[in-house]
Amino acid sequence: MIASSRIRLRTKGDSDIIDITDRVTSAVAESGMKDGVAVVFVPGSTAAVTTTEFEPNLNADLKKAAERLAPGGLGYRHHETWGDDNGSSHIRASLIGPSISVPFAGGKLMLGTWQQIVLVDFDTRPRDRELVVQLLGE
């Protein structure tokens, strides 16, 4: 069986990290499936989905690491294409990726004790985001 749903949210941009674990958990519960895989995907090329321990100091560390890997304010050639300022946002999102797969059993996500599913919006401005949650299971 396959079930699809969407998560809609507003972000602040600038490496905004949002815990979406409860929303994915709700999608699994609402599907009635007991065992399978949840795929969470963010359309767009300046945001990413991953897992982390969602706590303020680690969130700050993740933001600093992203800045070190793809510093903002550089002359990215992407800026020449569209006249914008988010070349670093695209690079950061590409390094993490737009989706994650999480198995579930007994109707519960099989995450570690300190592991949450997060959206990271690297864009340089606030955005309305819509994530796709697709469940494959029974």
Closest to 78 measured CA to CA, from 62, 96, 94: 94
Structure tokens at 75: 């002359």
Task: Record the pTM.
Answer: 0.95
Closest to 67 measured CA to CA, from 126, 13, 14: 14
> What's the CATH code of the domain at 73?
2.60.120.460
How far, in Å, CA of 65 to CA of 131, rounded?
Answer: 24
Please write the tens of the pLDDT for every residue from 50-92.
999 999 999 999 999 999 999 998 888 888 888 889 999 999 9
According to the model, what pLDDT value does residue 77 have? 87
Residue 103: Cβ within 10 Å count: 12
Q: Which domain holds residue 104?
A: 2-137
Number of domains in the chain: 1
Return the sign of the alpha-carbon dihedral for residues 53, 133, 85, 80. Answer: positive
Please write the tens of the pLDDT for every residue from 101-122.
999 999 999 999 999 999 999 9
How far, in Å, CA of 81 to CA of 6, rounded?
Answer: 31
Q: Between 83 and 39, whose confidence is greater?
A: 39
According to the model, what pLDDT value does residue 83 have? 84
Beta-bridge partner residues of 63? none
